[in-house]
Protein backbone atom coordinates (compact mmCIF):
# COMPACT_ATOMS: atom_id res chain seq x y z
CA UNK A 1 0.00 0.00 0.00
CA UNK A 2 2.72 2.48 0.93
CA UNK A 3 4.81 1.38 -2.02
CA UNK A 4 1.87 1.94 -4.27
CA UNK A 5 1.07 5.39 -2.95
CA UNK A 6 4.69 6.50 -3.06
CA UNK A 7 4.82 5.34 -6.67
CA UNK A 8 1.67 7.30 -7.44
CA UNK A 9 2.93 10.45 -5.76
CA UNK A 10 6.30 10.33 -7.50
CA UNK A 11 4.40 9.82 -10.73
CA UNK A 12 2.26 12.87 -10.00
CA UNK A 13 5.40 14.87 -9.31
CA UNK A 14 6.91 13.64 -12.55
CA UNK A 15 3.81 14.62 -14.47
CA UNK A 16 3.65 18.07 -12.86
CA UNK A 17 7.25 18.68 -13.87
CA UNK A 18 7.20 17.35 -17.38
CA UNK A 19 3.74 17.61 -18.85
CA UNK A 20 3.30 20.93 -20.61
CA UNK A 21 -0.49 21.08 -20.67
CA UNK A 22 -2.62 18.00 -20.59
CA UNK A 23 -1.62 16.37 -17.31
CA UNK A 24 -1.37 19.42 -15.06
CA UNK A 25 -3.95 19.41 -12.33
CA UNK A 26 -4.62 23.13 -11.90
CA UNK A 27 -2.70 25.48 -14.17
CA UNK A 28 -2.85 29.17 -13.22
CA UNK A 29 -5.57 30.79 -15.32
CA UNK A 30 -3.41 33.54 -16.84
CA UNK A 31 -0.87 31.01 -18.07
CA UNK A 32 -3.32 29.20 -20.29
CA UNK A 33 -5.67 32.04 -21.09
CA UNK A 34 -4.92 32.24 -24.78
CA UNK A 35 -4.92 28.53 -25.67
CA UNK A 36 -7.82 27.99 -23.24
CA UNK A 37 -9.85 30.52 -25.10
CA UNK A 38 -9.18 29.09 -28.53
CA UNK A 39 -9.78 25.59 -27.29
CA UNK A 40 -13.04 26.69 -25.70
CA UNK A 41 -14.06 28.29 -28.97
CA UNK A 42 -13.16 25.12 -30.82
CA UNK A 43 -15.20 23.11 -28.35
CA UNK A 44 -18.13 25.44 -28.94
CA UNK A 45 -17.83 24.93 -32.67
CA UNK A 46 -17.62 21.20 -32.11
CA UNK A 47 -20.77 21.11 -30.03
CA UNK A 48 -22.41 23.19 -32.68
CA UNK A 49 -21.04 20.75 -35.27
CA UNK A 50 -22.74 17.81 -33.56
CA UNK A 51 -26.14 19.47 -33.67
CA UNK A 52 -25.35 20.83 -37.12
CA UNK A 53 -24.64 17.33 -38.40
CA UNK A 54 -27.96 16.14 -36.97
CA UNK A 55 -29.85 19.07 -38.52
CA UNK A 56 -28.04 18.67 -41.84
CA UNK A 57 -29.02 15.02 -42.01
CA UNK A 58 -32.64 15.85 -41.16
CA UNK A 59 -32.70 18.68 -43.72
CA UNK A 60 -31.15 16.49 -46.39
CA UNK A 61 -33.71 13.75 -45.90
CA UNK A 62 -36.56 16.27 -45.60
CA UNK A 63 -35.67 17.77 -48.98
CA UNK A 64 -35.19 14.43 -50.71
CA UNK A 65 -38.16 12.63 -49.11
CA UNK A 66 -40.95 14.97 -48.01
CA UNK A 67 -42.59 12.21 -45.93
CA UNK A 68 -39.49 12.15 -43.68
CA UNK A 69 -40.67 15.01 -41.46
CA UNK A 70 -44.28 13.92 -41.06
CA UNK A 71 -45.46 13.25 -37.49
CA UNK A 72 -46.01 9.62 -38.35
CA UNK A 73 -42.43 9.12 -39.50
CA UNK A 74 -40.94 11.05 -36.58
CA UNK A 75 -42.94 8.81 -34.27
CA UNK A 76 -41.62 5.78 -36.14
CA UNK A 77 -38.02 6.98 -35.74
CA UNK A 78 -38.63 7.50 -32.02
CA UNK A 79 -40.07 4.02 -31.52
CA UNK A 80 -37.31 2.45 -33.63
CA UNK A 81 -34.75 4.23 -31.45
CA UNK A 82 -36.47 3.47 -28.14
CA UNK A 83 -34.74 0.20 -27.19
CA UNK A 84 -31.31 1.42 -28.31
CA UNK A 85 -31.89 4.78 -26.64
CA UNK A 86 -32.94 3.32 -23.27
CA UNK A 87 -29.95 0.98 -23.19
CA UNK A 88 -27.70 3.85 -24.27
CA UNK A 89 -29.01 5.95 -21.37
CA UNK A 90 -28.17 3.10 -18.99
CA UNK A 91 -24.63 2.85 -20.34
CA UNK A 92 -24.29 6.64 -20.14
CA UNK A 93 -24.99 6.56 -16.40
CA UNK A 94 -22.34 3.86 -15.96
CA UNK A 95 -19.85 5.89 -18.03
CA UNK A 96 -20.55 9.08 -16.06
CA UNK A 97 -20.12 7.39 -12.67
CA UNK A 98 -17.40 4.93 -13.57
CA UNK A 99 -15.20 7.28 -15.57
CA UNK A 100 -14.43 7.19 -19.26
CA UNK A 101 -11.28 5.06 -19.23
CA UNK A 102 -12.50 2.11 -21.23
CA UNK A 103 -10.41 -0.54 -19.49
CA UNK A 104 -10.43 0.60 -15.85
CA UNK A 105 -13.45 2.90 -15.91
CA UNK A 106 -17.12 2.18 -16.06
CA UNK A 107 -18.54 0.05 -18.83
CA UNK A 108 -21.51 -2.31 -18.93
CA UNK A 109 -21.22 -4.91 -21.66
CA UNK A 110 -24.11 -6.87 -20.19
CA UNK A 111 -26.81 -4.39 -21.22
CA UNK A 112 -27.68 -6.15 -24.48
CA UNK A 113 -27.75 -9.46 -22.59
CA UNK A 114 -30.02 -7.92 -19.96
CA UNK A 115 -32.33 -6.77 -22.74
CA UNK A 116 -32.53 -10.30 -24.18
CA UNK A 117 -33.04 -11.98 -20.80
CA UNK A 118 -35.65 -9.44 -19.69
CA UNK A 119 -37.58 -9.83 -22.94
CA UNK A 120 -37.43 -13.62 -22.57
CA UNK A 121 -38.69 -13.45 -18.97
CA UNK A 122 -41.54 -11.17 -20.01
CA UNK A 123 -42.69 -13.30 -22.97
CA UNK A 124 -42.25 -16.63 -21.16
CA UNK A 125 -44.33 -15.48 -18.18
CA UNK A 126 -46.89 -14.11 -20.61
CA UNK A 127 -47.08 -17.54 -22.29
CA UNK A 128 -47.45 -19.15 -18.87
CA UNK A 129 -50.61 -17.10 -18.36
CA UNK A 130 -49.47 -14.31 -16.08
CA UNK A 131 -50.90 -10.81 -16.47
CA UNK A 132 -49.46 -7.36 -16.96
CA UNK A 133 -48.42 -6.64 -13.39
CA UNK A 134 -46.68 -9.93 -12.74
CA UNK A 135 -44.84 -9.82 -16.08
CA UNK A 136 -43.66 -6.23 -15.63
CA UNK A 137 -42.63 -6.82 -12.02
CA UNK A 138 -40.67 -9.96 -12.86
CA UNK A 139 -39.00 -8.32 -15.87
CA UNK A 140 -37.91 -5.24 -13.93
CA UNK A 141 -36.74 -7.49 -11.09
CA UNK A 142 -34.67 -9.45 -13.60
CA UNK A 143 -33.04 -6.25 -14.82
CA UNK A 144 -32.34 -5.15 -11.26
CA UNK A 145 -30.90 -8.56 -10.38
CA UNK A 146 -28.48 -8.39 -13.32
CA UNK A 147 -27.56 -4.85 -12.31
CA UNK A 148 -27.02 -6.03 -8.73
CA UNK A 149 -24.72 -8.82 -9.91
CA UNK A 150 -22.70 -6.28 -11.92
CA UNK A 151 -22.59 -3.87 -9.00
CA UNK A 152 -21.48 -6.61 -6.63
CA UNK A 153 -18.72 -7.79 -8.97
CA UNK A 154 -17.38 -4.32 -9.65
CA UNK A 155 -17.56 -2.75 -6.20
CA UNK A 156 -17.27 -5.58 -3.72
CA UNK A 157 -15.37 -8.26 -5.65
CA UNK A 158 -13.33 -5.61 -7.51
CA UNK A 159 -13.39 -7.38 -10.85
CA UNK A 160 -12.62 -5.06 -13.78
CA UNK A 161 -16.00 -3.76 -15.07
CA UNK A 162 -15.10 -4.77 -18.62
CA UNK A 163 -14.57 -8.38 -17.51
CA UNK A 164 -17.27 -8.64 -14.88
CA UNK A 165 -19.97 -7.40 -17.24
CA UNK A 166 -18.58 -9.61 -20.01
CA UNK A 167 -19.08 -12.69 -17.82
CA UNK A 168 -22.52 -11.45 -16.75
CA UNK A 169 -23.38 -10.94 -20.42
CA UNK A 170 -22.56 -14.60 -21.08
CA UNK A 171 -24.69 -15.70 -18.13
CA UNK A 172 -27.63 -13.58 -19.35
CA UNK A 173 -27.28 -14.92 -22.89
CA UNK A 174 -27.28 -18.48 -21.58
CA UNK A 175 -30.32 -17.96 -19.35
CA UNK A 176 -32.15 -16.34 -22.26
CA UNK A 177 -31.45 -19.44 -24.37
CA UNK A 178 -32.65 -21.70 -21.56
CA UNK A 179 -35.94 -19.78 -21.39
CA UNK A 180 -36.58 -19.42 -25.13
CA UNK A 181 -34.72 -22.50 -26.43
CA UNK A 182 -33.55 -20.17 -29.21
CA UNK A 183 -37.04 -19.71 -30.60
CA UNK A 184 -39.20 -16.63 -30.94
CA UNK A 185 -41.65 -16.45 -28.02
CA UNK A 186 -44.76 -14.50 -29.02
CA UNK A 187 -46.42 -12.24 -26.48
CA UNK A 188 -49.77 -10.51 -26.27
CA UNK A 189 -50.98 -8.52 -23.28
CA UNK A 190 -53.12 -5.43 -22.78
CA UNK A 191 -49.91 -3.60 -21.83
CA UNK A 192 -48.29 -4.47 -25.17
CA UNK A 193 -51.32 -3.20 -27.07
CA UNK A 194 -51.22 -0.03 -24.99
CA UNK A 195 -47.52 0.50 -25.74
CA UNK A 196 -48.20 0.16 -29.45
CA UNK A 197 -50.93 2.82 -29.42
CA UNK A 198 -50.39 6.37 -30.53
CA UNK A 199 -50.34 8.58 -27.45
CA UNK A 200 -50.27 12.34 -26.85
CA UNK A 201 -48.64 14.58 -29.50
CA UNK A 202 -49.49 11.89 -32.08
CA UNK A 203 -46.40 9.98 -30.97
CA UNK A 204 -46.33 6.23 -30.29
CA UNK A 205 -46.27 5.31 -26.61
CA UNK A 206 -42.98 3.38 -27.01
CA UNK A 207 -41.31 6.54 -28.23
CA UNK A 208 -42.84 8.52 -25.38
CA UNK A 209 -41.38 6.06 -22.87
CA UNK A 210 -37.94 6.91 -24.28
CA UNK A 211 -38.67 10.62 -23.98
CA UNK A 212 -39.93 10.14 -20.41
CA UNK A 213 -36.83 8.14 -19.40
CA UNK A 214 -34.66 10.88 -20.90
CA UNK A 215 -36.55 13.61 -19.03
CA UNK A 216 -36.28 11.88 -15.65
CA UNK A 217 -32.60 11.07 -16.05
CA UNK A 218 -31.69 14.41 -17.61
CA UNK A 219 -33.29 16.34 -14.76
CA UNK A 220 -31.70 14.06 -12.14
CA UNK A 221 -28.22 14.23 -13.62
CA UNK A 222 -28.28 17.87 -14.64
CA UNK A 223 -30.14 19.57 -11.80
CA UNK A 224 -29.58 17.53 -8.65
CA UNK A 225 -26.60 17.05 -6.37
CA UNK A 226 -26.75 13.35 -7.18
CA UNK A 227 -25.88 14.06 -10.81
CA UNK A 228 -23.02 16.40 -9.94
CA UNK A 229 -21.60 13.85 -7.49
CA UNK A 230 -21.88 11.09 -10.08
CA UNK A 231 -19.72 13.16 -12.47
CA UNK A 232 -17.29 13.79 -9.63
CA UNK A 233 -17.04 10.08 -8.82
CA UNK A 234 -16.30 9.30 -12.47
CA UNK A 235 -14.05 12.21 -13.30
CA UNK A 236 -12.12 12.80 -10.07
CA UNK A 237 -12.58 9.81 -7.74
CA UNK A 238 -9.91 10.99 -5.30
CA UNK A 239 -11.47 14.43 -4.99
CA UNK A 240 -14.91 12.87 -4.64
CA UNK A 241 -13.66 10.59 -1.87
CA UNK A 242 -12.02 13.54 -0.12
CA UNK A 243 -15.31 15.42 -0.34
CA UNK A 244 -16.98 12.61 1.57
CA UNK A 245 -18.87 10.98 -1.29
CA UNK A 246 -19.47 7.25 -0.92
CA UNK A 247 -17.91 6.06 -4.20
CA UNK A 248 -19.09 2.48 -3.78
CA UNK A 249 -22.71 3.52 -3.39
CA UNK A 250 -22.62 5.69 -6.51
CA UNK A 251 -20.87 3.05 -8.61
CA UNK A 252 -23.25 0.32 -7.45
CA UNK A 253 -26.28 2.53 -8.08
CA UNK A 254 -25.20 3.28 -11.64
CA UNK A 255 -25.10 -0.45 -12.47
CA UNK A 256 -28.44 -1.02 -10.70
CA UNK A 257 -30.17 1.74 -12.66
CA UNK A 258 -28.57 0.51 -15.88
CA UNK A 259 -29.91 -2.99 -15.14
CA UNK A 260 -33.37 -1.57 -14.45
CA UNK A 261 -33.25 0.30 -17.77
CA UNK A 262 -32.24 -2.99 -19.40
CA UNK A 263 -35.46 -4.45 -18.00
CA UNK A 264 -37.50 -1.53 -19.36
CA UNK A 265 -35.82 -1.98 -22.75
CA UNK A 266 -36.79 -5.65 -22.64
CA UNK A 267 -40.47 -4.78 -22.20
CA UNK A 268 -40.29 -2.19 -24.99
CA UNK A 269 -38.61 -4.62 -27.34
CA UNK A 270 -41.28 -7.27 -26.72
CA UNK A 271 -43.94 -4.62 -27.35
CA UNK A 272 -42.23 -3.37 -30.54
CA UNK A 273 -41.79 -6.87 -32.00
CA UNK A 274 -44.82 -8.51 -30.32
CA UNK A 275 -42.40 -11.24 -29.24
CA UNK A 276 -39.10 -12.03 -27.56
CA UNK A 277 -36.62 -12.82 -30.33
CA UNK A 278 -33.06 -14.06 -30.31
CA UNK A 279 -30.24 -11.83 -31.50
CA UNK A 280 -30.26 -9.27 -28.72
CA UNK A 281 -26.46 -9.67 -28.45
CA UNK A 282 -26.17 -7.75 -31.72
CA UNK A 283 -27.34 -4.67 -29.83
CA UNK A 284 -24.14 -4.53 -27.77
CA UNK A 285 -21.93 -2.59 -30.15
CA UNK A 286 -24.65 -0.14 -31.29
CA UNK A 287 -25.36 0.61 -27.61
CA UNK A 288 -21.69 1.38 -26.99
CA UNK A 289 -21.58 3.45 -30.17
CA UNK A 290 -24.64 5.44 -29.08
CA UNK A 291 -23.26 6.27 -25.65
CA UNK A 292 -19.88 7.32 -27.02
CA UNK A 293 -21.35 9.16 -30.00
CA UNK A 294 -23.49 11.10 -27.52
CA UNK A 295 -20.36 12.91 -26.36
CA UNK A 296 -20.47 14.79 -29.66
CA UNK A 297 -23.42 16.77 -28.30
CA UNK A 298 -21.81 17.89 -25.06
CA UNK A 299 -19.73 21.04 -24.71
CA UNK A 300 -16.89 19.31 -22.88
CA UNK A 301 -17.25 16.16 -24.95
CA UNK A 302 -18.24 14.04 -21.93
CA UNK A 303 -21.07 11.51 -21.80
CA UNK A 304 -24.39 13.24 -21.13
CA UNK A 305 -27.96 11.97 -20.92
CA UNK A 306 -29.26 14.40 -23.54
CA UNK A 307 -26.32 13.72 -25.84
CA UNK A 308 -27.06 10.02 -25.77
CA UNK A 309 -30.72 10.59 -26.58
CA UNK A 310 -29.73 12.79 -29.53
CA UNK A 311 -27.22 10.18 -30.71
CA UNK A 312 -29.84 7.42 -30.58
CA UNK A 313 -32.31 9.56 -32.52
CA UNK A 314 -29.53 10.58 -34.93
CA UNK A 315 -28.69 6.92 -35.71
CA UNK A 316 -32.40 6.09 -35.95
CA UNK A 317 -32.99 8.99 -38.36
CA UNK A 318 -30.05 7.88 -40.51
CA UNK A 319 -31.32 4.31 -40.82
CA UNK A 320 -34.88 5.50 -41.42
CA UNK A 321 -33.85 8.08 -44.00
CA UNK A 322 -31.71 5.63 -45.93
CA UNK A 323 -34.64 3.24 -45.97
CA UNK A 324 -36.91 5.95 -47.40
CA UNK A 325 -34.26 6.82 -50.00
CA UNK A 326 -33.93 3.13 -50.90
CA UNK A 327 -30.22 3.26 -50.08
CA UNK A 328 -29.00 -0.23 -49.26
CA UNK A 329 -29.01 -0.94 -45.54
CA UNK A 330 -25.55 -2.44 -46.06
CA UNK A 331 -24.12 1.08 -45.92
CA UNK A 332 -25.64 2.00 -42.57
CA UNK A 333 -23.02 0.30 -40.38
CA UNK A 334 -20.18 1.76 -42.38
CA UNK A 335 -21.57 5.28 -42.10
CA UNK A 336 -22.09 4.79 -38.35
CA UNK A 337 -18.49 3.64 -38.04
CA UNK A 338 -17.19 6.61 -40.01
CA UNK A 339 -19.27 8.93 -37.80
CA UNK A 340 -17.85 7.44 -34.61
CA UNK A 341 -14.34 7.87 -35.96
CA UNK A 342 -15.01 11.44 -37.07
CA UNK A 343 -16.41 12.35 -33.66
CA UNK A 344 -13.72 10.74 -31.54
CA UNK A 345 -11.04 11.93 -33.96
CA UNK A 346 -12.20 15.50 -33.40
CA UNK A 347 -12.46 14.83 -29.66
CA UNK A 348 -8.94 13.53 -29.24
CA UNK A 349 -7.58 16.28 -31.47
CA UNK A 350 -9.22 18.73 -29.10
CA UNK A 351 -8.06 17.05 -25.92
CA UNK A 352 -4.46 17.43 -27.01
CA UNK A 353 -1.84 15.10 -28.30
CA UNK A 354 -0.43 13.92 -25.01
CA UNK A 355 -3.74 13.08 -23.40
CA UNK A 356 -4.15 9.58 -24.71
CA UNK A 357 -5.70 7.49 -21.95
Binding-site ranges for another protein (CB under 8 A) = 1, 3-4, 7, 11, 14-15, 18-19, 22-23, 102-104, 109, 153-154, 157-160, 162-164, 166-175, 177-178, 181-182, 237, 247, 285, 288-289, 292, 328-338, 340-341, 344-345, 348-349, 353-354, 356-357
* Closer of 132 and 282 to another protein (Cβ): 282
Residue 262 CB, shortest distance to another protein, in Å, is 16
Cα separation, 98 vs 248, in Å, equals 10
* Closer of 167 and 198 to another protein (Cβ): 167
CA-based nearest residue to 123, from 289, 247, 222, 267: 267
Is the separation of the CB atoms in 83 and 261 below 8 Å?
Answer: no
Q: Which residues contact 297 (CB under 8 A, 6 or more apart)?
A: 47, 50, 51, 304, 306, 307, 310, 311
Residue 194 CB, shortest distance to another protein, in Å, is 32
* Closer of 90 and 98 to another protein (Cβ): 98
* Closer of 29 and 334 to another protein (Cβ): 334
Dihedral sign of CA atoms 13, 15, 20, 21 in order: negative
Report how far apart the first and last C-alpha atoms of the chain are (Å, whole number). 24
* Closer of 233 and 305 to another protein (Cβ): 233
Residue 245 CB, shortest distance to another protein, in Å, is 12
* Closer of 188 and 337 to another protein (Cβ): 337
Residue 33 CB, shortest distance to another protein, in Å, is 24
Residue 128 CB, shortest distance to another protein, in Å, is 18
Residue 45 CB, shortest distance to another protein, in Å, is 18
Angle at which helices 111-127 and 247-273 pack, to 10 degrees? 50
Angle at which helices 247-273 and 205-223 pack, to 10 degrees? 170
Cα separation, 324 vs 32, in Å, equals 49
Residue 130 CB, shortest distance to another protein, in Å, is 22
Is the separation of the CB atoms in 88 and 291 below 8 Å?
Answer: yes
* Closer of 198 and 332 to another protein (Cβ): 332
| b/e code 39-69 from CB counts within 10 Å (16+ = b) | eeeebeebbebbeebbeeebeebeeebeebe
Amino acid sequence: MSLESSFESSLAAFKALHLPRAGRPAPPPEAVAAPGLSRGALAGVLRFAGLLALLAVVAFFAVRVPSFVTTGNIGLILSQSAVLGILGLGLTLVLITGGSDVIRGGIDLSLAGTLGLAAAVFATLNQAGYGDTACVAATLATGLAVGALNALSVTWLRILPLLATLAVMNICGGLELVLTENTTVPAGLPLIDALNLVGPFDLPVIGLVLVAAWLILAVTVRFTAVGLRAYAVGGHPEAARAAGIDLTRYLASSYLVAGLLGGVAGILSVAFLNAATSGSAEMLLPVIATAFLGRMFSRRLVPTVTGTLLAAVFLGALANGFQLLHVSSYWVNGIEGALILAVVGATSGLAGRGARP
